[in-house]
Amino acid sequence: MRGLVLKLAFVVAALMVIFCVFAPIIAPYDPEAIDLSAKFMPACSEHILGTDHLGRDVFSRLLYGSSVSLGSTFATLGLILLIGVLVGAISGFVGGRIDQVLMRICDVFFSVPTIILALFLVGVLGTGLINVIIAIAVSHWAWYARMVRSVVLSLKNKEYILITRISGASETVNFKKNMLRPILSQCVILGTLDIGHIMLHISALSFLGLGVRAPKAEWGIMISDAKDFIFTHSELMLYPGVALFLCVASFNIIGDHLRDKLDAGRNLEVCDEYARA
């Protein structure tokens, strides 16, 4: 049963990525094209999922919404990884006062809920998708920095790392050769688990009118636009809500699988190391 759920999660995630990349080719209509004469059309051969209150094709808007939601999520995650790996590696390698200062800064970010901090930063930076990406990245990087620092600290005194250092290799070469792989494996686990979390943040801020703005298609905006018709045309909220749920659930399932698999591999390496000792 678990294997079937995992396969379904991979299929859904793959479909979402395909929709994200090929939305302009797959979508049958312009997602922003208004046709008031066709508003609130039910599902039919011309409009697979019907139309909204402005006569816009719901299926086309869902496809383009996947591009915005997933694209902005991956952009945010990339920025988080860039900041987190850089700060965590510097903190773990250099140590001393620099490590203490950077970790106290991380503690400050840990003390504030991420959504509250993101709302504050959007208020400072202003609304818009770019500012939302920056705000969410700034509110999340500390977890990755702490994780990267812990990996660096656990590895930098290993015998093979010391041998590489004694042989004359620079710290940069040492980091790339011996530390980058375990750091990236942990980042992949945490990042996959965080995709759904970040996507919900972006959709929530767009729902509040702080991120993506109408008439651009995005799942949070679609839910916001449909909230006034929840009792008469509830399907307009159902479609983007289900798409968001499936996407978040799929990446969470995949993240759990990667965590179990990579952690099991890591534990096996530790057992082998003890056996050789």
Does 76 have pLDDT greater than 90?
yes
Q: pLDDT above 70 covers what percent of the chain?
A: 90
Dump pLDDT digits (tens) for 226-245: 988 888 888 999 999 999 99
Does 264 have pLDDT greater than 70?
no
Weakest-pLDDT range from 110-124, 159-173, 200-214: 159-173
The burial class, CB within 10 Å (0-12 / 13-18 / 19+), for 100 is exposed
At a CB cut-off of 8 Å and minimum separation 6, what does 36 contact? Answer: 54, 55
At a CB cut-off of 8 Å and minimum separation 6, what does 29 contact? Answer: 47, 56, 57, 60
Which single residue is written with the structure tokens 């902005």? 72
Dmax (CA) of the chain: 77
Q: Where are the beta strands (DSSP E) in the chain?
A: none
The CATH homologous superfamily of the domain defined by 1-275: MetI-like (1.10.3720.10)
Domain spans in the chain, listed from the N-terminal domain onward: 1-275
Contact 84, 138 (CB under 8 A): no
pLDDT for position 239: 93
At a CB cut-off of 8 Å and minimum separation 6, what does 276 contact? Answer: none
Dump pLDDT digits (tens) for 108-135: 888 888 888 888 888 888 888 888 999 9
pLDDT for position 197: 87
What is the pTM assigned to this prediction? Answer: 0.84
pLDDT for position 270: 36
